[in-house]
Amino acid sequence: MAVLLPAVLACCMLHSLTLRAQEQFIAPSAKLLTSFPFKMLTGGIIIVTATLDDHADSLNFVLDTGSGGISLDSATVDYLKLKRTPSARTIRGIAGVRTVEFTYNHSLHLPGLTSDSLDFHINDYDLLSSVYGIRIDGIMGYSFLRRYIVAVDYDKMMLNIFTPGSYNYPRNGYFLHPIFSNLPMQRLDVKDAKTVSSRYYLDTGAGLCMLFSQNFMDDSAWLNKKRKLYPTQAEGLGGKKNMSLTVIKEVKLGPYRFKKVPVYVFDDEYNVTSYPVLAGLIGNDIMRRFNVVLNYPDQLIYIKPNTHYNDVFDYSYTGLGMYVIDGSVHVIDIITGSPADKAGFQKNDIIVGVGNNLSNDIQAYKNLLQITNTRVTVVVLRQGKLVQLRMNIKSILRGR
């Protein structure tokens, strides 16, 4: 009997644990609040249309996991005559640090959903509007995302917003378990000369695959020394930032591997990537290849490969900086020695057409200039005269 007693006790203990498990409280089921379409720009940037308070004007917001709050463009604030309140709070971006004002206690109206009591910080998004060719009125970040479960369906180009609660995730995907502060920080492996595992901001507002700080690159020494680095620029908070563009061997996110990934490297003088805690950021040109569930309340992100999973990466290199100014597409930046420089582009050229496309649509022009190893004809207006330029679009895959 003494020999059997421990086994009996064990059975009782197991039975007791089972009973307790059966009595655990579970969260109520997440309920669908609304579904509506979104627009996607180059690099996977998500644009959501909404209105503010009782104003009838439609506003364009970027859905951005890389934003620690929610914001409005300064010109939009002035147009809507919203009250500004000074603050001592600062925000950091790739090209600067600035003190921001706030406008408090507003309601954001999305199709089928109103989100109340939102405090917007105020920023200047004129540069982003010029880059994308549409008015950027604000950015929807943590202050909005923390309230809901947001499912992004890139196949159907739909956003589905749910109440927090028990969510029925689709099968055959993968749970990311990022560390959350205001921004999700996800661990992944990158491989070139060697494999390095680090954490990165998960940033749906970044229209690129990955961005690395130069300090991380120098300290880890994982980039193949034969890789060629192409000089380029990117835009962000504070203005433009000089960067380098190259290709790495592999990026591994959970069980998913991407080969020959184009990446950016920059001197992070404002430490926006929080090195050495983080090595950089993951942009939406990777994340758009999954249908994504952003469950901030449960601090989970779920990804499932979609029909874009095997889309070809953008390996094009032109060295041409185009911006929409007063309704026309202007050439503003030309990297010395780049294909654009060799083709004869000049600052303040106005692009009239790319190939047979005369749409004056900067998004269409950018897409046409992503076709590598081709020779494209670009017609520009220069000092009142039409000039025809021929440019060879380079592939950075050959930069070794």
Q: What confidence tens digit (pLDDT) does each residue in 222-274 have?
A: 999 999 999 998 877 667 889 999 999 999 999 999 999 999 999 998 888 88
Residue 306 has pLDDT above 60, yes or no: yes
Q: pLDDT confidence of 1, banded at 50, 70, 90?
A: very low
pLDDT at 21: 53
Q: Angle at Cα 275 formed by Cα 273 and Cα 278, nearest 5°?
A: 70
CB atoms within 10 A of CB 393: 21
The Cα–Cα gap between 393 and 376 comes to: 7
Of 200, 199, 182, 191, give the one whose Cα is nearest residue 91. Answer: 182
The CA distance from 332 to 322, in Å, is: 6
Mean of the per-residue pLDDT values for the chain?
Answer: 92
Q: In this predicted structure, what is the pLDDT of residue 148?
A: 98
24 pLDDT tier (thresholds 50, 70, 90): low
Q: How far is residue 51 from each of residues 9, 103, 124, 270, 369, measured CA to CA in Å?
A: 64, 15, 19, 33, 34
**CA dist., res. 18 & res. 180, Å (int):** 32
Is the pTM higher than 0.85?
yes
Mean pLDDT (whole number) for 365-390: 96
What was the pLDDT predicted at 181?
A: 85
> pLDDT band at 182, cuts 50/70/90?
confident
The answer to whether residues 203 and 283 touch, using CB atoms and an 8 Å cutoff, is yes
- Residue 23: predicted pLDDT: 63
- Residue-wise pLDDT tens digits, 48-79: 999 999 999 999 999 999 999 999 999 999 99
Residue 25 has pLDDT above 70, yes or no: no
338 vs 232: CA distance, rounded Å: 9
In the chain, what percentage of residues exceed pLDDT 90? 85
Query: For 400, what's the count of Cα atoms within 13 Å in the CB-facing half-sphere?
Result: 12
Candidates 239, 245, 242; CA nearest to 227 is: 245
Helices (H), 313-377: 339-343, 362-368
Sorted by where each starts, the structural domains of the chain and their CATH numbers stand as 32-162 (2.40.70.10), 174-287 (2.40.70.10), 316-398 (2.30.42.10)
Taking 70 as the threshold, does the pLDDT of residue 150 lie above it?
yes
Which residues are CB-neighbours of 79 under 8 A, at least 6 positions away?
Answer: 57
3-state secondary structure of 234: strand
Check: CB of residue 202 under 8 Å from CB of residue 188: no
